[in-house]
A and B are shown apart, each in its own frame.
Chain A
Amino acid sequence: VKKVVAVSLGVLTAIGGFVDIGDLVANAEVGARFGFSLAWVVVVGVIGICLFAEMAGRVAAVSTRPVFDLVRERLGARAALANLVASSFVNFLTLAAEVAGIALALQLATSVSYLLWIPFTALAVWLVIWRVRFETMERIFGLAGLSLVAFAVAFWRLGPDWGSVIHAATHPVVPSGEGHPTYLFFAVSLFGAAMTPYEVFFFSSGAVEEGWTPRDLNVNRANVLVGFPLGGFLSLAIMGTTALVLAPRHIGVANLAQVALPSVLALGKVGLAFLLVGFFAATFGAALETSLSSGYIISQFFGWQWGKRVRPVDAPRFHAVVLISVVLATMLVLTSIDPIKVTEYSLVLSALALPLTYFPILVIANDPDYMGERTNSRLGNALASVFLVVVLVASAAAIPLMIATKAGQ
């Protein structure tokens, strides 16, 4: 049990990053429209985030410096400010969508309109941050999010022809009726979703909150190798269920109920109960992750005291940023803006800001001033450099593809 608990930071980070409200719908939509032909992007994304999250966690364990300290230190004040503005905007949009996402999960369970739930969900998110210990928080929401494994059970129960699934996933073809730009647009958004910067902000700051030292490097590796592949596995399971059930019938996905539909067909009421718990925990976890990340990165840019390991009166500006983020995000979704559209746009914007976060991590992970003897291996550097190129390409392609495809319509 102790080992399960030790990886809860990685699990919560990955669930918040891979299966938050936007990803739940995006994965299901991709499955319904493109079958298995974009599954490879999730695998590539998982490898990328594992590489960089491991570095960020290692830097945090060895030097106690979280990611935005590195960004500020390597990019200087001006470029770091540009990253701060972009990343805060992505955080804010995602947080808004998650607050609505929790409410949408409750709407699915109770049939009470999500707009009525929003004030209560926002208050609950803030109260958890204000009162609940960091480790308790990550354990509850990380582990409860695991009930999304129901998607994998459903996929298995739907009895796919494994041979043809593997063939379709390894020989990707753009389905008829979809253009290449649309295919690439969804590839970039899935990649952006896998590598969203708030994952490394949260993961490295969480490592500092938990007080990791160089003795915890194994814990770091275990968190990365369990958490992110698990997140990727859940994304693929969601994609798989809609690819099997909805794609052959040409049914699109636009809301949370349709995400659950194939699994409910396979598993019945019990499956639905698990999914509802999972939706709630995953969106709630992502709301915690993004609101804390807003506080983390703004505080770390200015050098303010941050974190839940000190009394709130000792980190007042950090708690003020978190509180104000939650209030503003709530106001945004109360305008009845479509929360799923909001995250879809935020994914593309996050792809745009990726290089400004991942480049400094790679540089510092090679700096003996910070790392002593624990700098990157040559293989790690080679892989990370390749990924940095991929990140740059995705970043450059994000906006043109969004405009060319009208955001994938």
Chain B
Amino acid sequence: VNGAPAAGSAAGSSAPVRRIDAALGLLDRQLVDCDGRLAGKVDDLELTRPDGPGDGPPVVTAVLAGPGALAHRLGGHAGRWLESVHARLHPSSEPGPARVPFGVVKCIGSAVELTVAKRDLGLTRFEDWVRDHLVGRIPGARRAPE
């Protein structure tokens, strides 16, 4: 899926249905988790064709985030380079992009808010590594901001 401008349906169940242009209103927005932490970007979207009789339009089933998803969006040399770095540093041999099921999306505004913590989405591997090996080792790294 490469950011096709499909019309995804809004997640709000009680509110009146709001139409969102997936390319304009969803792609490349900031992800914010349930603790208010910045959790990455909507780097790409997973679209699925619904099963059953009568092929309906594809439905957005997940937000794809992280270098695995971004590499495909970038394309070209930069994309290939990012993908190979991602593959080399990732523990599994064929790493896909991190997948955030669309069900955990709470609301879509100037940011996309989630109902879960980013730790539970597998989005923090690189962040954890940088914390454990560099920033967390500097004195004062755990001092709370005043």
B134 contacts A76, C-beta separation under 8 Å:
no
Chain B, 43-68, contact with A by CB distance < 8 Å: what is the 0/1 string?
10000000000000000000001000
Q: How far is the CB of B98 from chain A (nearest CB, A)?
A: 11
A65 contacts B111, C-beta separation under 8 Å:
yes
B74 contacts A77, C-beta separation under 8 Å:
yes
Interface residue count on the A side (C-beta < 8 Å): 34
B135 contacts A313, C-beta separation under 8 Å:
yes
A249 within 8 A of B: no
A379 within 8 A of B: no
Chain A, 240-264, contact with B by CB distance < 8 Å: what is the 0/1 string?
0000000000000000000000000
B16 within 8 A of A: no
Chain B, 129-143, contact with A by CB distance < 8 Å: what is the 0/1 string?
011001110101111
Give bound CA distance, A135 to B26, whole Å. 33
Give bound CA distance, A317 to B40, whole Å. 12
Q: How far is the CB of A181 from chain B (nearest CB, A)?
A: 35
Question: Which one, B7-15, B30-38, B83-91, is touching chain A?
Answer: B30-38
A381 within 8 A of B: no
Give bound CA distance, A131 to B144, whole Å. 11
A338 within 8 A of B: no
Q: Which of the residues B27, B30, B74 comes within 8 Å of A65, measured between beta carbons? A: B30
B75 within 8 A of A: yes
Q: Which residue of A lies closest to B78 (CB)?
A: A81
* Across-interface contacts of B76 in A (CB, < 8 A): 78
A317 contacts B127, C-beta separation under 8 Å:
yes
A306 contacts B38, C-beta separation under 8 Å:
yes
Interface of chain A, helix or strand or loop or mixed?
A: helix
Q: Given the known A-B contacts A303-B38, A370-B110, are A312 and B141 also in contact in the complex, defined by CB atoms under 8 Å?
A: yes
A309 contacts B145, C-beta separation under 8 Å:
yes
Q: Which residue of A lies closest to B110 (CB)?
A: A63
* Across-interface contacts of A133 in B (CB, < 8 A): 145-146
B29 within 8 A of A: yes
B28 contacts A311, C-beta separation under 8 Å:
no
B114 within 8 A of A: no
* Across-interface contacts of B28 in A (CB, < 8 A): 72-73, 76-77, 80
Chain A, 197-256, CB within 8 A of any chain B CB: none
A311 contacts B31, C-beta separation under 8 Å:
no
B38 contacts A305, C-beta separation under 8 Å:
yes
A373 within 8 A of B: no
Q: Given the known A-B contacts A65-B30, A72-B28, A78-B75, are A304 and B70 also in contact in the complex, defined by CB atoms under 8 Å?
A: no
B41 within 8 A of A: yes
Q: Give the number of residue pairs across the A-B interface with Cβ within 8 Å.
A: 94
Give bound CA distance, A131 to B110, whole Å. 31
Chain A, 66-87, contact with B by CB distance < 8 Å: what is the 0/1 string?
0001001100111011000000
* Across-interface contacts of B131 in A (CB, < 8 A): 313, 316
Q: Which residue of A lies closest to B33 (CB)?
A: A305
A65 contacts B110, C-beta separation under 8 Å:
yes
B142 contacts A303, C-beta separation under 8 Å:
no
Q: How far is the CB of B13 from chain A (nearest CB, A)?
A: 21
A319 within 8 A of B: yes
Give bound CA distance, A310 to B127, whole Å. 14
Q: How far is the CB of B133 from chain A (nearest CB, A)?
A: 9
* Across-interface contacts of A310 in B (CB, < 8 A): 37, 145
Give bound CA distance, A304 to B38, whole Å. 6
Give bound CA distance, A369 to B20, whole Å. 11
B96 within 8 A of A: no
Chain A, 299-342, CB within 8 A of any chain B CB: 299, 302-306, 308-314, 316-317, 319-320, 323
Give bound CA distance, A178 to B91, whole Å. 62
B80 within 8 A of A: no
Give bound CA distance, A309 to B144, whole Å. 9
B134 contacts A316, C-beta separation under 8 Å:
yes
A196 within 8 A of B: no
A130 within 8 A of B: yes
A313 contacts B126, C-beta separation under 8 Å:
no
Q: Which residue of B lies closest to A131 (CB)?
A: B140
B136 contacts A313, C-beta separation under 8 Å:
yes
Given contacts A303-B41, A305-B38, A317-B130, 13 further A-B contacts (CB under 8 A): A64-B110, A64-B111, A72-B41, A76-B27, A77-B28, A78-B76, A305-B127, A311-B144, A312-B141, A312-B142, A314-B37, A316-B127, A320-B130
Can you pick out 10 interface pairs between chain A and chain B where the beta carbons lie within 8 Å of each other? A64-B111, A65-B110, A65-B111, A77-B43, A77-B70, A130-B138, A303-B38, A303-B41, A303-B65, A320-B135
Residues of B with Cβ closer than 8 Å to A?
Answer: 3, 25, 27-31, 37-41, 43, 65, 70, 73-76, 78, 109-111, 126-127, 130-131, 134-136, 138, 140-146
Residues of A with Cβ closer than 8 Å to B?
Answer: 63-65, 69, 72-73, 76-78, 80-81, 130-131, 133, 299, 302-306, 308-314, 316-317, 319-320, 323, 369-370
